[in-house]
Amino acid sequence: MLATRNFKPELFLGEGGFGKVFKGWICQDERSPSRPGDRMPIAVKTLNREGKQGHKEWVAEINHLGALQHPNLVKLIGYCIEDQHRMLVYEYMPRGSLENHLFKRRATTLTWDVRIKIMLGAAKGLAFLHEKAIKPLIYRDFKTSNVLLDSEYNAKLSDFGLAKDAPIGDKTHVTTQVIGTQGYAAPEYIMTGHLNFKSDVYSFGVVLLEMLTGRKAIDKRRPQKEQKLVEWAKPHLKNRGGIYHLIDPNIKDQYSTRCAYKAMKIVAHCIYGDPKLRPLMSDVVKELQIIFDYNNDRSSSPLPTPPSSFKGFHDGSSSSNSSRYGRGDGGSKYGPKVDLSSSTSSTKNTPSQFKNSPLYFTPPFPSPNPKYSGNA
């Protein structure tokens, strides 16, 4: 209570299914309550006994985060249980949630480079949970509000109360009560209750799509046909030149056309209807790393060839456009103009990247790794 000044309203950070979160301070060495200023800031999550998540999820959070350490997972510092009170203490993430940066009014627009950096970090966190953790985990609730940002916009996954241990032995999935957030949960999980790594991959694809478009996964304020982001985006992912309908207009002058195109292909593969054909998160990391590295050196040579383990990401494009920058609907010296007045734009005005688009022609995928595929 002392660390948060008795939960003063001005220290309130936010609220989720678990309960309210407050800012506080502790002595870094002694881990005891302290006053602000020269001490370590923390985030204190309080359990709401009437909330959507209860004691079971509180214990799960401790068990999971207490056993996991990774740069892209939020650090659990400690916990407190006293009478009916339950609290968790985390490292403080000064830039808050990704959700606030994307959708909060008057929020500063995230640049293209920062968006890719954030998603690369989040992908590394998921890849660790799936493939590197001592006891692999299915995160189950990947969404923008659960991606927190430090002062340098490094992404860290938070809220592990709904995470599930991955299937073991010959099992390809775990069957569980359908719990998640509308718009992010994989369709096969909603229909069957079967949960596996590829369920997380789908959710990641939705969040990446939110990042690229600036739209919410579910937005009731939009016209009916545009309220569900994935359903609205799918036709554009398949059409030549559709990328220009998708990219957030707030960043239209910032991206390399080839990088934006590659990012949209990652989305398309992650939200595949058949979970067996979705990529591993480690492969997604490799692809996002290519984009991130290219962002840091835009005068570089053409984008490298994707790893052989992810042949579904073949560009089918020439290197001559590798340094051009997309400018939405308008053509300039930075990029070709594409006629968007018709869904059947002429080949003449279509950038070479789209002429053999693997989004337009369904690409083959590598055989799933039996260890991580999580086949449904």
CA-CA distance, 76 to 208, in Å (whole number)? 26
Say if CB 240 and CB 360 are below 8 A apart: yes
Helix (H, G, I), strand (E, B) or coil at 59: helix
* Residues with Cβ within 8 Å of residue 40, at least 6 apart in sequence: 25, 26, 27, 28, 34, 92
The dihedral region occupied by 193, where left means phi > 0, alpha psi between -120 and 50, and beta the remainder, is: left
Say if CB 266 and CB 289 are below 8 A apart: no
Q: How far is CA 150 from CA 18, 112, 118, 154, 186, in A?
A: 21, 18, 10, 5, 28
CA-CA distance, 9 to 22, in Å (whole number)? 8
Instruction: Find the helix or strand (DSSP H, E) in which 208 lies.
Output: helix 197-213
Q: Is 220 marked within a binding site?
A: no
Candidates 29, 38, 141, 293; catalytic one: 141
Q: How far is CA 248 from CA 101, 137, 207, 217, 254, in A?
A: 14, 32, 14, 14, 11
Helix (H, G, I), strand (E, B) or coil at 304: coil
CA-CA distance, 62 to 78, in Å (whole number)? 8
User: 309-321 burial, b if ≥16 CB within 10 A, otherwise e?
Assistant: ebebbebebeeeb
Backbone angles phi, psi at 311, to 5 degrees: -65, -20
Mark whether 150 is an active-site residue. no
Backbone angles phi, psi at 332, to 5 degrees: -160, -170
- List, as residue ranges, the binding site for ATP: 45
Catalytic residues: 141
